[in-house]
Amino acid sequence: MEKIELSHYTLEQKLDRILQLLKVRAFTKSIEPKFQNPITISLILNSNFGVTDDDEVEYITKILLDDGHIEPDKSGITGLYSITREGQKFADEVGYEKGRIDIDNKREIDRLTIKSLRRSKTSLWISILALIISALALLFDKIF
């Protein structure tokens, strides 16, 4: 019976790692222009996460291409990609993992804000009711 091992890394962690390694490759090429290190996305995923599934490699590559963070390498080697300026900026400033965490935090803040507003609304109605009762008590006190 074949043992199936599932990766415990998130998609966001894989995407961030690819961008980091492609940044290192771009930096190395800027120092030594003749440097040609054929780091493919498939190689990165296999060596870092044990991913050998071609469909997952294709899916992750498509995400990075569609987001504009990578582009086919100018060398013309199939499966070789370079990080774009936008990809470098994204990896430095945000990254996929931090973006996901920010979204989760925003959802939690929204949930707590709504809860707080409900509590504030109840407090408002209680205050209005107390004001009305006070006004009526004052009015009846003057009349009687």
Distance in angstroms (rounded) separating the CA atoms of residues 21 and 15: 10
Residue 28's pLDDT band (cuts 50, 70, 90): confident
Neighbours of 80 (CB within 10 A): 18
2 pLDDT above the threshold of 60: no
Question: Which residues are registered as beta bridge partners of 72?
Answer: 81
Q: What would the pLDDT profile of 43-72 be if each residue is shown by its tens digit?
A: 888 888 888 888 999 999 999 999 999 999
Q: What's the pLDDT band for 3 if we cut at 50, 70, 90?
A: very low
CATH number of 11-93: 1.10.10.10
Angle at 63 between CA 92 and CA 37, to 5 degrees: 65
Copy the structure tokens of residue 108.
């939690």
Tell me the per-residue pLDDT of 87-137, one tens digit each, with 9 for 90 and over. Answer: 999 998 888 887 677 777 778 887 888 888 777 788 888 889 998 998 888
Q: How many CA atoms are closer than 13 Å to the CA of 78, on its beta-carbon side?
A: 1
**Both tokens assigned to 84:** 């774009």
Instruction: Please answer whether residues 39 and 21 qualify as being in contact, where contact means their C-beta atoms are separated by less than 8 angstroms.
Output: yes
